[in-house]
Amino acid sequence: MNMKTGKTPFNTIRLLENISLGSAVFAVIFCVLIIVNFIQVKRADPLNTAAMTSLVEKLQNDPGNEQIRQEVRTLDLLARKAFFTTQWQVRTGGYLLFISILILVTCVKALELMRVKLPDAPFGKPAVFWETRILKRHWLVYSGAGLVVLTLLLAWFTHNDLGKDLETAVTRESQTVNRDKGSGVRDQGSGNQKPAAGSSDSIKVNHDSSSSILHPASNYPSWQEVKLNFPSFRGPGSIGITERTNIPASWDGKSGKNIKWKTAIPLPGNNSPVIWNDRIYLSGASESKREVYCIDALSGKILWTSTVDKIQGSPSQVPGVSKETGLAAPSLTTEGLRVYAIFANGDLIALDMDGKKVWAKNLGMPANHYGHSSSLLMYHDILLIQYDQRGAPEVMGLSGKTGEQVWKTSRNVKISWASPSLINTGKRMELLLSAEPCVASYDPLTGKELWKLDCISGEVGPSLAYANGIVYSVNEYSTLSAVQIGITPRVLWENNEFLSDVPSPVATDKYLFVITSYGTGVCYDAVAGTKYWEHDFGNPVYSSPMLAEGRIYLLDKRGMMFIFKADKEFSLISQCPLGEGSFCTPAFTNGHIFLRADKNLYCIGK
């Protein structure tokens, strides 16, 4: 401004106008570039290309091919570079957009102060002329602001989605590259292990614990990584389905055919193996001792044994249990950071991966007449426990790191021996529980009840099956129900002809398989409930059937494994004798099955 005249020089006004115009142009350009970048990322994900998928599949089929492995690493490096380049572009574009808008606003405000206010109707122009002009300016400002807000939102979503995509991609690719590095089975150890037949064959498990797998900031594994392991009873989510491949379909315990090793477990227990990378976890208990075991999946050697004792509040008396349940029935769980075990007297313990106690507590003596058998589950960093006992049924979530209660929800149900299941509906994760009189769903992070439906009765032992938005519950002297889940769940169909007392059902999108405790298997249409076939396997069954590679693996109490097609026509593939009785459900890794029998843990591979 000229201090003598009190007027702003014309050149200054023109300069500010030019700067404003330039800033506006640059802002529009940055908006367009960020929007175009968002569209490109959505159309062509740089981290999940067809080339990478093809190479990963080739490596799975030929794990010893070093050339393919190197190509995966090279393409993975390029994908990472693409990721960081895209993030840099989004971040830099956002900063430049913000600077452009800041300059534009500053110049516009300065011009408003410098310009002399015009009269209401100068040069013969009516007032409506200026009102229209102001209105147009407002529309221009609002449109520009809206475009900027939209651009910033798209930039944030692009940045956030890329982070999630990188986590998933790196998990998948790192697991694929690293899990088959081993050149063979390690030394067999001593004492209880049976030497492996054909020990040059490598066990395809994720045994490189130092592999660079990205975890979320809160330090728990992604759901994708969970699915690459076998961290709980009946596999990921405890629904009886594994995505592991190259599963053997023939063995003989007596002759040693395809038996890689067997290891005697010191204390009895009816819990099933859980696996993370190359380590297997089991528990055992007697009237005087409780223990947790870590076994090397490659050799069968017991790596460590942790004694569970000196827990505050632990009852001095031993609970009364049935033989079929025992004192260590619930399967353990792990998220790869700690392993968790619970026993018939309510003792709960968390151990680190080297077997050292992290925390322990007693949940109170379980009040039931068979013994506690509900297995544990992990979701994110929360340990999920179904504790449906007489007088105080409840489900709870504890901090995996500290054991402190995160949430607890009381339940209006009777005693249940079933285990919880965790499902991904496509919209959210749901924790599913079964106990008279209902099947109920909870938010695994908060314990909030999402829905429930009365459809079951009696002393519930079988856990739930799930596929394609349908939950299946069953119990002896009750009914088999197919429940369409949702805000308002409904029963699609029911049947009370073949009912299970212990084994849990398993389902695909097309078929439901129910195994009765007395050894009859039945296949139903999953949606309509039509019965396709029934087959008598000849012996009682307590193990739950598992679905792997389109086949059902069913282990009876005498240790005979029946393998048949998951199809609407019964087609038996093979019968494989273990030579030792078992109540437990098998666990799977790529190329191998792990079976806990009455006294030994077996590794079966081709």
At 98-142, the pLDDT tens digits run 787 778 778 777 767 776 554 544 545 555 554 555 555 555 555
Arithmetic mean of pLDDT, 8-32: 73
pLDDT at 168: 46
**57 contacts: CB under 8 Å, gap ≥ 6:** none
* 258-280 pLDDT tens trace: 999 999 999 999 999 999 999 99
Note whether 167 and 49 are within 8 A (CB): no
* 283-315 pLDDT tens trace: 999 999 999 999 999 999 999 999 999 999 999
**Is 351 part of a structural domain of the chain?**
yes
* 351-393 pLDDT tens trace: 999 999 999 999 999 998 899 999 999 999 999 999 999 999 9
Judgement on whether residues 278 and 158 belong to the same structural domain of the protein:
no
CA gap 317, 314 in Å, rounded: 9
Judgement on whether residues 174 and 231 belong to the same structural domain of the protein:
no
**Is 435 part of a structural domain of the chain?**
yes
Report the length, in residues, of the chain: 606
Type of residue numbered 566: A
pLDDT at 156: 58
CA gap 366, 373 in Å, rounded: 10
- Listed ranges 179-188, 210-219, 388-397; the one with the highest mean pLDDT: 388-397
Say whether pLDDT at 238 is over 50.
yes
Say whether pLDDT at 423 is over 50.
yes
**Is 200 part of a structural domain of the chain?**
no
Note whether 483 and 491 are within 8 A (CB): yes
Q: How are the residues of the chain apportioned to helix, strand and coil, as percentages rounded to the nearest 5?
A: 25, 30, 45
> Does pTM top 0.85 for this prediction?
no
**Is 111 part of a structural domain of the chain?**
yes
Q: Where are the alpha helices (DSSP H) in 179-247?
A: 223-227
**Is 454 part of a structural domain of the chain?**
yes
Judgement on whether residues 147 and 236 belong to the same structural domain of the protein:
no
**Is 40 part of a structural domain of the chain?**
yes
CB atoms within 10 A of CB 421: 27
* Phi, psi values for residue 494, rounded to 5°: -135, 155
Mean predicted lDDT score pLDDT of the chain: 82
pLDDT at 199: 36
Type of residue numbered 351: L
Question: Would you call the peptide bond into 437 cis, given omega within 30 degrees of 0 as the criterion?
Answer: yes
pLDDT at 124: 52
Judgement on whether residues 420 and 318 belong to the same structural domain of the protein:
yes
Q: Report the SS3 class of residue 424.
A: strand
Note whether 378 and 340 are within 8 A (CB): yes
CA gap 515, 492 in Å, rounded: 20
Judgement on whether residues 174 and 249 belong to the same structural domain of the protein:
no
CA 434 to chain centre: 20
Q: What percent of the chain has pLDDT over 90?
A: 60
64: DSSP letter: T
Q: Which residue has the higher pLDDT, 586 or 206?
A: 586
Arithmetic mean of pLDDT, 314-339: 94
CA gap 480, 432 in Å, rounded: 16
Considering 178, 193, 209, which residue would you say is the last residue of a domain? 178
With CA atoms as reference, report the closest residue to 530 among 504, 566, 493, 496: 493
CA gap 304, 111 in Å, rounded: 76
Q: Domain total for the chain?
A: 2
pLDDT at 464: 98
CB atoms within 10 A of CB 95: 11
Q: Could you report how far apart the first and last alpha carbons of the chain are, in Å?
A: 89
Paired sense of beta strands 290-296 and 302-307, if any: antiparallel
For residue 204, give both structure tokens.
């395809």
Judgement on whether residues 31 and 110 belong to the same structural domain of the protein:
yes
Judgement on whether residues 308 and 367 belong to the same structural domain of the protein:
yes
How does residue 208 score in pLDDT terms, banded at 50, 70 and 90? very low
Considering 121, 143, 178, which residue would you say is the last residue of a domain? 178
CA gap 331, 350 in Å, rounded: 13
CA gap 55, 69 in Å, rounded: 8
Judgement on whether residues 157 and 300 belong to the same structural domain of the protein:
no
Note whether 445 and 428 are within 8 A (CB): no
**Is 63 part of a structural domain of the chain?**
yes
Note whether 432 and 441 are within 8 A (CB): yes
Note whether 203 and 589 are within 8 A (CB): yes
Judgement on whether residues 288 and 174 belong to the same structural domain of the protein:
no
**535 contacts: CB under 8 Å, gap ≥ 6:** 520, 521, 522, 564, 570
Note whether 586 and 593 are within 8 A (CB): yes
Note whether 420 and 219 are within 8 A (CB): no
CA gap 228, 327 in Å, rounded: 30
**Is 193 part of a structural domain of the chain?**
no
pLDDT at 15: 81
- Which DSSP string corresponds to 143-185? HHHHHHHHHHHHHHHHHHHHHHHHHHHHHHHHHHHHTT---S-
With CA atoms as reference, report the closest residue to 448 among 399, 407, 483, 487: 407
CA distances from 513 to 299, 504, 520 (A): 34, 9, 11
Judgement on whether residues 167 and 230 belong to the same structural domain of the protein:
no
Q: Which residue has the higher pLDDT, 81 or 20?
A: 20
Note whether 181 and 570 are within 8 A (CB): no
Judgement on whether residues 162 and 298 belong to the same structural domain of the protein:
no
Show the domain range for 250.
223-605
Instruction: Give me the CATH number covering residue 257.
Output: 2.130.10.10
How does residue 13 score in pLDDT terms, banded at 50, 70 and 90? confident
Considering 144, 178, 212, which residue would you say is the last residue of a domain? 178
Judgement on whether residues 162 and 228 belong to the same structural domain of the protein:
no
